[in-house]
Structure formats: structure tokens, C-alpha cells
């Protein structure tokens, strides 16, 4: 079968390409940069800038992973244009050419009340997908971890400090999910020919952790004694810095990661384990 991965060059996208190729499928890997795994068909395309129907002809399914963490309004990149705009264009074109399966990756934090334009656009994109393609599957994932993940890089920076600044509520809970497990899930669902695929799934890993525990875990991996002393930076202060686009010396603070790290991000939905029975624990 032949599957299109939109946002294929990204952190999750690379693993989804690998999972689909590993399962013996052909992969069309689309992003503006056009990076693709060996064996995939690279397409460098801004998905906001062209008629998408020709791209989708002959494709059996689509995995939509397109996202941005920062807006660049002068370059035409906003959360709404990217998340809602691409989701709408992809699903409308997929409906027009009769693509059989569509899987859309969204954020669990968005359904847990996270605030701001990023999360508004994620919620709007989910709605557009469900309205345009009622058979599509929306997957809402908790924080994604794995080697080289933005989460891992942030934790490593914090864990290297004598005192680790953590935003506001260090006891907020997360169910981090490994990128490769999420990728196997997305690849399995898009390739699932049955009628039993759910319309939405929440995905969290097997271990429930706090941000403070994650910092200690990163510190232990560096051979450091734990627990690392923590400085709970008041949220109003961080929100001000984030709103001003300022940067924290150790962790770049924009409003999206700040909201991600302060919104409880857990789920008891374990239906995804039928595709990934033994998901990895972060530590």
C-alpha cells in the first residue's frame, strides 16, 4: 500500500516513515523541506500553497503530522493557517479523491483545557477533520519523548544546572509516550483495513510522571545525584516572559511549551495498546 505522511520531516514524522517502510509499505514523505527516509518518496511542498488533489491520487491513506510551535506572521505562518488550514485542505482533498483512511495527530493538552492560539488551532483542526471526513481518526498524544526530542533537550538543559528552574507547578502530571510507539500506532491505524478503527484515541505512555521527576530522570542519565534542587518559578512571571517572547536562559520559553508543561496531560484511555501492547517507559 502507498501512504502519504504530511509533516514527514518532523520528529514524529521521521519515525512514522520508518514504521510504514518497515511494515513493507510505500511512503510519500511531504514537508516544505522535503526530507525523507531512505526508501521513501520525498516531496518538498508547502501544503498551504498548492492544489493537494494530485498529491493524494493513488494514495491509500494519509497521516497528518503538520505543525509549527512558533508563529511567523510576516512569513504567513500562523497556528491557525498551519494547523486548521492544512487539516482542512488535506481532508477536503482526501474526500474529493476518495482516500480510504485518514489519521490526524493532535495534542492531548488541547483537550485538557490548554489555553492560547496554538491550542485553539489544534482544537479547530480536530473539529474540521471530523466534519470533513467523518471516518477519520484523531489521535491525541501526551508529551512525546525519545532521543533528540524537544522534551529531552529541554530536560537535559535543566538537568545540567545546579538548581533546575521548573515552571509553576512541578507536580503537574504527564504520561509521556515514546515517539517510536506513537509512530507504530499511527502507521498501524492508517494501514488498518478493518471498520473497527476508533474515530478518536488518547495516547499516553505507561508511566505517569511529574516535570520534577522528569528532570531528575534526565539528571540521573547524566550521572548526577538526584534529586536535583528545583526552583519553582511563579507562573505569572513566566507567562509575562513568554508573552514578551523572552527567553529563559536554559529553556527557550515561548507560550506553547510553557502551556504544555503546565497543563495536566494524562489519560486512562488504553485502547491504543491493542496496536502497541508493550509501550516504552521514559525511565
Q: Is 9 in the site for ligand NAP (CB under 6 A)?
A: yes
**Rounded CA separation 254/232 (Å):** 17
φ, ψ for residue 216, nearest 5 deg: -65, -40
Q: Is 29 in the site for ligand NAP (CB under 6 A)?
A: no
Among 4, 10, 202, 259, binds ligand NAP (CB under 6 A): 10
Count helices and strands (H / E) in the chain: 10, 13
Residues 153, 251: contact at Cβ < 8 Å? no
Site for ligand NAP in 67-86 (CB under 6 A): 67-68, 82, 86
The DSSP string of 54-89 is: HHHTT-SEEEE----SS-BGGGTB-HIIIIIIHHHH
φ, ψ for residue 7, nearest 5 deg: 85, 35
Q: Which of 109, 97, 103, 99 minimizes the C-alpha distance to 130?
A: 103
Q: Is 56 in the site for ligand NAP (CB under 6 A)?
A: no
Among 3, 4, 12, 102, binds ligand NAP (CB under 6 A): 12
Site string for ligand NAP, 108-147 (x = CB under 6 A): ---------------------------------x-xx---
Closest approach, Cβ 162 to ligand NAP, in A, equals: 27
Closest approach, Cβ 149 to ligand NAP, in A, equals: 7
Task: Name the residues that contact ligand NAP, by CB under 6 A.
Answer: 7-13, 31-33, 46-48, 65-68, 82, 86, 105, 107, 141, 143-144
Amino acid at each position: 500500500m502507498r501512504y502519504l505522511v504530511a509533516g514527514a520531516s518532523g520528529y514524529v514524522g521521521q519515525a512514522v516513515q520508518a514504521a510504514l517502510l518497515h511494515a513493507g509499505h510505500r511512503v510519500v514523505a511531504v514537508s516544505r523541506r522535503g526530507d525523507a527516509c531512505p526508501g521513501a518518496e520525498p516531496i518538498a511542498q508547502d501544503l498551504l500553497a498548492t492544489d493537494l488533489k494530485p498529491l493524494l491520487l493513488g494514495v491509500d491513506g494519509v497521516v497528518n503530522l503538520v505543525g509549527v510551535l512558533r508563529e511567523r506572521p510576516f512569513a504567513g505562518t500562523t497556528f491557525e493557517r498551519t494547523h486548521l488550514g492544512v487539516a482542512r485542505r488535506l481532508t477536503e482533498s482526501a474526500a474529493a479523491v476518495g482516500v480510504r483512511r485518514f489519521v490526524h495527530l493532535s495534542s492531548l493538552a488541547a483537550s485538557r483545557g490548554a489555553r492560547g492560539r496554538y491550542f485553539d488551532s489544534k482544537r479547530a483542526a480536530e473539529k474540521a477533520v471530523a466534519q470533513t471526513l467523518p471516518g477519520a481518526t484523531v489521535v491525541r498524544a501526551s508529551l512525546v519523548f525519545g532521543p533528540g526530542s524537544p522534551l529531552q533537550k529541554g530536560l537535559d538543559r535543566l538537568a545540567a544546572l545546579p538548581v533546575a528552574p521548573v515552571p509553576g507547578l512541578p507536580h503537574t502530571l504527564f504520561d509521556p509516550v515514546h515517539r517510536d510507539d506513537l509512530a507504530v500506532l499511527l502507521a498501524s491505524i492508517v494501514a488498518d483495513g478493518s471498520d473497527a478503527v476508533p474515530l478518536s484515541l488518547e495516547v499516553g505512555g505507561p508511566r505517569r510522571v511529574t516535570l520534577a521527576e522528569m528532570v531528575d530522570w534526565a539528571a540521573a542519565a547524566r550521572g548526577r545525584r538526584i534529586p536535583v534542587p528545583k526552583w519553582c518559578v511563579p507562573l505569572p512571571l513566566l507567562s509575562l516572559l513568554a508573552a514578551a517572547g523572552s527567553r529563559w536562559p536554559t529553556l527557550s520559553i515561548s507560550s506553547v511549551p510553557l502551556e504544555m508543561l503546565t497543563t495536566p496531560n494524562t489519560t486512562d484511555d488504553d485502547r491504543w495498546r491493542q496496536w502497541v501492547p508493550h509501550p516504552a517507559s521514559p525511565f
